[in-house]
Chains A and B, each alone.
Chain A
Amino acid sequence: MRMLQLAYANLKEHFLSTILSVMLLGIGVGMVSFIVTVSEQLNDRFNRDIRGIDMVVGAKGSPLQLILSAVYQIDNPTGNIPLAEVNKLKRHPLIKYSIPLSYGDSYQGFRIVGTDSLYLSHYKATFSEGEVWSNSMDVVLGSSSAEKLNLKMGSHFHGNHGFNEEGHAHEESHYNVVGILNPTGTVADRLILTSTESVWDIHNHDEAEHAHEGEHSHEVEEEAGEITALLVKFKSPMGIMQIPRMVNQKTSMQAALPAIEINRLYSLMGVGFTTLQIIGMVIMCIAALSVFISLLNSLKERKYELALMRSLGASPFKLFGLIVQESLLLCLAGYTLGIILGRVGIMLLSYFGEDQFQFSVSQTGVAQVEIWLLPLTLCIGLIAALIPAIRAYRSDISSVLRNE
């Protein structure tokens, strides 16, 4: 009969208060691990998508909206910008490369983005099947788009105007799948990529129908054309100093810096995350209180048992250890429950979040928060056990045994 076995038996004996403590601890631990994991993954994904993009140029409006729509493809575009101005900007000597984006259409909730092949190399996308578009209306699917839409090489589909499925369909022309990408862990996975020309062709076709206009040369069309946004990579940090200001002051376009906008977004979201994390910590403190109270109660009830153990040869320190072990066992159970709850929460979030927010969290291996929560929980257990354990240590056995 080891002390640990006895501690376990005692906890089982006080089943209800044990359950209460374990549940409180579990909810606290689960909440903290959930929040930390989600915010870490959110940060991680946000950072992965903006990596290498120093500036986004788009129509005037909210800079955050521009970043969210152009980089993350989760908001509506701020409008279109004239290609003539874009082409002028592109020639600036401080710009290393720039990627045009034309978006506004979707297919079953997946966005169709017109761009050029630089977009693929920027996100280091590789082909699992097929190759990059060569003709207008050829599309390349991101890995999760292909999977969710169940489209294969050679499939055809019609795009919708707008980002929801109710938008009017571009019935006249259909897209052909010519390539499917490997997963990149970036926004590219969730897109349908095509050439800028495809997007123009679809919309010009619409306009042509309305206007009954015939022939204009390709160059004119391109010069008169519009794109939605331009992702820019600078050659040197000097670019950040000069170009955004120039764009904002001298053109009809606006320049937004992803790093700044995302920091602003973090500080907004951060308040929510911090609040939830504090609530989690408060629940853990309440759990500690519950452990403390239940130990103290069981101590009163077991006053005689503890004296009996002393009379059987247990040292005061052994009783101290018994109470501490009970508390640590409780906390270990609470920790385990919490990790399970946190992971279930993350599974649910990625199940529901994937469709609604295009955000999926994945958990492979052990998260760092799960590691540091363990010593934290055990510390809580130690602190909660301290006073009851000292009481057990100090109890005057002779008087307890006499006043049975």
Chain B
Amino acid sequence: MLQTNNLSFNYSNGPSFSFPNFRLEKQEVLLVLGQSGKGKTTLLHLLAGLMEPNEGSVMIDSQPMTELNGRSRDSFRGKNIGIVFQQAQFIRSVTVMQNLQLARSLAGLPNNDPFALELLNELGIGDKANNRPSELSIGERQRTAIARALVTKPKIVLADEPTSALDDKNCEAVASLFERTVTGHGAALVIVTHDQRLKNRFQKSVSL
């Protein structure tokens, strides 16, 4: 499903990173652990095709991302990759439901699929569908971000530091929530974090 090969990236006038190779199958979870400055976010952006590596390649569902040009890479990302950023960000001017619908329409999927509401219900925030993102609590926002990442039925979900701001109890709960929902919808999950508490929670991990 996901495979990297000799990925490396150099910032102009900045640090350069080389990343270990890894491989991930459907419904598997991979933990990428690393301290600040080890290139976690860089790796995430390379996996998402938001940046191009200087060397190496990223294969998603046997499609080499690095071979796609700008526009088709955008569209490929929209269809196949869901991203949950560290701080959940939304389009402020529209509702939670419209944020989900926007994600679907940008991925070229039909707008008004009941799947969006099913997801919100599954994540326990179905009643917030018509609220603005600014009216949600931090926890609700994270759930909404998960729902948005999954609403396009992606093959892979990338999560950036989903637990680092949480206490132990919530850390465990959120980690389970991610694992359960993402793999439950048939996607593979990559968690990029410095949170050592997750180290023993997942079998498969790489350290940077």
Complex: how many Å from CA A2 to CA B94? Answer: 12
Given the interface contacts A1-B101, A6-B91, A12-B93, does A402 sit within 8 Å of B78 by beta carbon?
Answer: no
Closest B residue by C-beta to A11: B93
Q: Which of B59-67, B82-90, B117-125, B165-173 lies at the interface with chain A?
A: B82-90
B92 lies within 8 A of A305 (CB): yes
Given the interface contacts A313-B78, A402-B41, does A318 sit within 8 Å of B106 by beta carbon?
Answer: yes
A315 lies within 8 A of B94 (CB): no
Q: Which of B28-36, B45-53, B181-189, B195-203 lies at the interface with chain A?
A: B45-53
Name the one of A305, A313, A402 contacting B91, with C-beta atoms under 8 angstroms. A305
Complex: how many Å from CA A189 to CA B16? Answer: 88
Name the one of A2, A13, A313 contacting B75, with C-beta atoms under 8 angstroms. A313
Name the one of A5, A311, A315 contacting B48, with C-beta atoms under 8 angstroms. A311
B201 to chain A, nearest CB (A): 26
Residues of chain A within 8 A (CB-CB) of B70 are 315-316
Complex: how many Å from CA A6 to CA B107? Answer: 16
B151 to chain A, nearest CB (A): 10
B78 lies within 8 A of A9 (CB): no
Closest A residue by C-beta to B100: A1
- Beyond A308-B90, A398-B50, list 9 extra A-B contacts (CB 8 Å): A6-B94, A309-B106, A311-B50, A312-B152, A313-B107, A313-B152, A316-B71, A317-B71, A397-B50
B102 lies within 8 A of A1 (CB): yes
Q: Say if the beta carbon of B103 comes within 8 Å of chain A.
A: yes
Report the interface size class on chain A: 20 to 34
Given the interface contacts A6-B91, A6-B93, A401-B45, does A314 sit within 8 Å of B98 by beta carbon?
Answer: no
Residues of chain A within 8 A (CB-CB) of B108 are 313
Given the interface contacts A6-B93, A304-B89, A401-B45, does A314 sit within 8 Å of B101 by beta carbon?
Answer: no
Q: Say if the beta carbon of B111 comes within 8 Å of chain A.
A: yes
A56 to chain B, nearest CB (A): 66
A314 lies within 8 A of B74 (CB): yes
Residues of chain B within 8 A (CB-CB) of A12 are 93
Complex: how many Å from CA A310 to CA B76? Answer: 11
B106 lies within 8 A of A312 (CB): yes
Name the one of A10, A314, A317, A404 contacting B106, with C-beta atoms under 8 angstroms. A314
Given the interface contacts A1-B102, A305-B92, A313-B78, does A398 sit within 8 Å of B51 by beta carbon?
Answer: yes
Complex: how many Å from CA A316 to CA B108? Answer: 15
9 closest pairs, A vs B, by CB?
A313-B78, A13-B93, A1-B101, A9-B93, A1-B102, A313-B106, A398-B50, A312-B106, A398-B51
Residues of chain B within 8 A (CB-CB) of A402 are 41, 45
Residues of chain A within 8 A (CB-CB) of B152 are 312-313
A398 lies within 8 A of B45 (CB): yes
Name the one of B83, B93, B107, B148 contacting A10, with C-beta atoms under 8 angstroms. B93
Residues of chain A within 8 A (CB-CB) of B51 are 398
Complex: how many Å from CA A251 to CA B98? Answer: 86
Complex: how many Å from CA A397 to CA B48? Answer: 12
Name the one of B45, B74, B79, B105 contacting A1, with C-beta atoms under 8 angstroms. B105
A404 lies within 8 A of B87 (CB): yes
Most central of A2, A6, A314 by chain B CB within 10 Å:
A314
Complex: how many Å from CA A317 to CA B106? Answer: 12
Closest A residue by C-beta to B72: A315
Give 12 pairs: A residue, B residue, CB < 8 Å, sorted on A: A1-B94, A1-B98, A1-B102, A5-B98, A305-B91, A308-B89, A308-B91, A311-B48, A312-B103, A315-B71, A317-B71, A404-B86
Q: Say if the beta carbon of B155 comes within 8 Å of chain A.
A: no
Closest B residue by C-beta to A301: B92
Complex: how many Å from CA A382 to CA B151? Answer: 34
Q: Say if the beta carbon of B141 comes within 8 Å of chain A.
A: no
Q: Say if the beta carbon of B77 comes within 8 Å of chain A.
A: yes
Residues of chain A within 8 A (CB-CB) of B85 are 308, 401, 404
Residues of chain A within 8 A (CB-CB) of B79 are 313
Complex: how many Å from CA A312 to CA B108? Answer: 10
Given the interface contacts A1-B101, A1-B105, A6-B102, does A311 sit within 8 Å of B93 by beta carbon?
Answer: no
Residues of chain B within 8 A (CB-CB) of A2 are 105, 111
A315 lies within 8 A of B50 (CB): no
Closest B residue by C-beta to A306: B91
Complex: how many Å from CA A2 to CA B108? Answer: 11
A400 to chain B, nearest CB (A): 10
A10 to chain B, nearest CB (A): 5
A1 lies within 8 A of B111 (CB): yes
A14 to chain B, nearest CB (A): 8
Residues of chain A in range 366-404 having any CB-CB distance to chain B below 8 Å: 397-398, 401-402, 404
Complex: how many Å from CA A314 to CA B85? Answer: 17
Complex: how many Å from CA A10 to CA B98? Answer: 13
Contact code string A8-34 (vs B, CB < 8 Å = 1, else 0): 011011000000000000000000000
Complex: how many Å from CA A6 to CA B102? Answer: 9
